[in-house]
């Protein structure tokens, strides 16, 4: 796989919310490909993040595609709301969807790309039958709910197994990895077969986020 074409998606959860416009403008000027929006409901995960009033302002301000990661129960209730806001890629959790196939089809019918996220304990093989319908699989390399958590190294093996599954079916589904990604583990993750990386703290908590993004994009 050509590593040079990987997608970088900074997680806004690690931004400075008192200076959100400044941070979104910084991302607009940067080499980043997407912006990752983490949506938490306090039910599926033990935390609450940002809601529509904030996300809608971000959507107005950004020139980058929005990659929304829904860590909520019943995500199907909000599909058109995310579409209307301008989200291009909507990712729901496997563990939160009883009728995953229906939800994925609804996302695509609404005109967005569809992603499915897997918690660290969910075998990647469970996606075998739905894989042809997916634009992206999001492998969680932390338990979802908080930014700044420690990376779980089993994610390397999970990405490799998913890469094999995708390639054996001749698909072009993207593999995105989320949680504890930094400049140290990113190259190995790309080698394992990922082609999109989310990074929160590793970008926003550095002295010069623009330069850090540049450093990521050199891999
Ligand atoms: C975790 C979120 C992640 C998180 C990433 O629940 O889905 O997107 O914000 O932040 P870092 O890169 O700091 O682990
Ligand atoms: Zn996320």
168-203 pLDDT tens trace: 999 999 999 999 999 999 999 999 999 999 999 999
So what's the pLDDT on residue 5? 84
38 is catalytic: yes
Q: How many A from CA of 67 to the centre of ligand 2?
A: 9
* CA triple 156-153-66, angle to 5 deg: 70
pTM: 0.97
163 lines ligand 1 (CB under 6 A): no
DSSP state of 57: H
The residues whose Cβ lies within 5 A of ligand 2, an ion, are 38, 69, 178
Domain regions of the chain by residue span: 3-217
Instruction: Note the pLDDT tens digit of each residue in 116-132.
Output: 999 999 999 999 999 99
Query: What tokens does 214 get?
Result: 């540049």
Looking at the domain 3-217, which fold is it? TIM Barrel (3.20.20)
Q: Which residues pair with 176 in a beta bridge?
A: 138, 196
Residues of the chain scoring pLDDT < 70: 1-4
84 is catalytic: no
Query: What tokens does 117 get?
Result: 């996220």
10 lines ligand 1 (CB under 6 A): no
120 lines ligand 1 (CB under 6 A): no
Q: How many A from CA of 34 to the centre of ligand 1?
A: 14
209 lines ligand 1 (CB under 6 A): no
Helix ranges (H only) for the chain are 20-29, 52-61, 79-85, 100-109, 155-168, 186-192, 201-204, 209-217
In the block, tokens 């860590």 appear at: 71
So what's the pLDDT on residue 4? 54
CA distance 111 to 49: 25
Kindly name the residue from 23, 33, 135, 178 that is annotated as catalytic: 178
Q: How many A from CA of 194 to the centre of ligand 2?
A: 15
Kindly name the residue from 23, 33, 38, 135 that is annotated as catalytic: 38
200 lines ligand 1 (CB under 6 A): yes
68 lines ligand 1 (CB under 6 A): no
Q: How many A from CA of 168 to the centre of ligand 2?
A: 27
């Amino acid at each position: 796989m050509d590593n040079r074409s990987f997608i970088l998606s900074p997680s806004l959860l690690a931004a400075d919310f008192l200076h959100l416009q400044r941070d979104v403008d910084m991302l607009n000027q940067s080499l980043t490909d997407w912006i990752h929006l983490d949506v938490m409901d306090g039910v599926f995960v033990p935390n609450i993040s940002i809601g529509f009033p904030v996300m809608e302002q971000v959507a107005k301000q950004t020139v980058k595609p929005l990659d929304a990661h829904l860590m909520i129960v019943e995500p199907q209730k909000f599909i058109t709301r995310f579409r209307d806001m301008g989200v291009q890629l909507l990712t729901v959790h496997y563990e939160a969807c009883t009728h995953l196939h229906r939800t994925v089809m609804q996302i695509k019918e609404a005109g967005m790309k569809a992603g499915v996220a897997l918690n660290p304990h969910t075998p990647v093989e469970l996606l075998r039958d739905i894989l042809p319908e997916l634009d992206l699989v999001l492998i969680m390399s932390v338990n979802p709910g908080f930014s700044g958590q420690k990376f779980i190294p089993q994610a390397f093996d999970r990405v490799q197994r998913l890469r094999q599954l995708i390639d054996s079916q001749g698909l072009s589904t993207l593999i995105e990895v989320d949680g504890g990604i930094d400049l140290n583990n990113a190259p190995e993750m790309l080698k394992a077969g990922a082609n999109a990386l989310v990074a929160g703290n590793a970008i926003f908590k550095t002295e010069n986020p623009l330069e850090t993004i540049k450093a990521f994009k050199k891999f």
